[in-house]
Amino acid sequence: MLHKRMMRFLTALAALFGMAALSAPAAATDTTFLFTGTCTDCTGTGKGTLVLQDYTIGDALGAANFVSFTYSSNLTSFTLNNVNQLIGSLSNVPGANFVEFNDDDFVFISSALGAISPWCTGPTGTCGSDFGLTSSWSLAAGAVPEPAMWAVMVLGFGLLGASMRRPRHTGLLQA
């Protein structure tokens, strides 16, 4: 009897977790792109990390997608946490990416013009701190599931394990 109550309780708990996970509003999903540009004016490369929210790869970019951009080279480094303007598009196709954004202090431009992909960054209005003729964008590694999803998965595996441990009753044959 106690075993049946425990199974009912676990089933009800799993249903509650499942409903909570399904009814929760979808969290904004972040997509991270990595920028690498060979410097013409600086030594080595310029590297950046662009984080976007609710962005579908290949769609047009808008300021609402912007989360942050961090850039560094041997000449300059900066972080933007908001922008006045964000235009362009990012995809998985090399040479098909165009991005331009700025805030009150910095501007960043990266484009694809056939065999070359010029880029530049610097104070707003100048774009002359770092620049080069070759650059690339790549999609960062996939995301880790959200904690609520982990909870639902662990609970599901727990219920599966509990059902497998359940003792099997064999009927007695009467003669």
According to the model, what pLDDT value does residue 66 have? 93
**SS in 3 state form for 17-86?**
HHHHHHHCCCCCCEEEEEEEEECCCCCCEEEEEEEEECCCCCCECCHHHEEEEEEECCCCEEEECCCCEE
Q: Domain for residue 174, yes or no?
A: no
Let me know whether 97 and 160 are in one domain.
no
pLDDT of residue 173: 59
Taking the model in full, what pTM does it have?
A: 0.65
Identify whether residues 129 and 58 lie together within a single domain.
yes
pLDDT value, residue 172: 61
H or E segment and range at residue 156: helix 147-165
Do 77 and 14 sit in the same domain of this protein?
A: no
Degrees to nearest 5, angle at CA 61 with 51 and 143: 35
Would you state the pLDDT for residue 27? Answer: 56
Q: State which H helix or E strand residue 103 sits in.
A: none
- Does residue 76 share a domain with residue 39? yes
As averages over each run of 10 residues, the pLDDT of the chain (175 residues) reads 62 56 58 92 90 90 92 90 89 78 90 80 83 88 65 76 67 60
Residue 22 shares a structural domain with residue 37 = no
- Rounded to whole angstroms, how far apart are CA atoms 21 and 61? 30
Domain range for 159 is 2-26+146-165
Residue 117's pLDDT is 85
67 in the same domain as 15: no
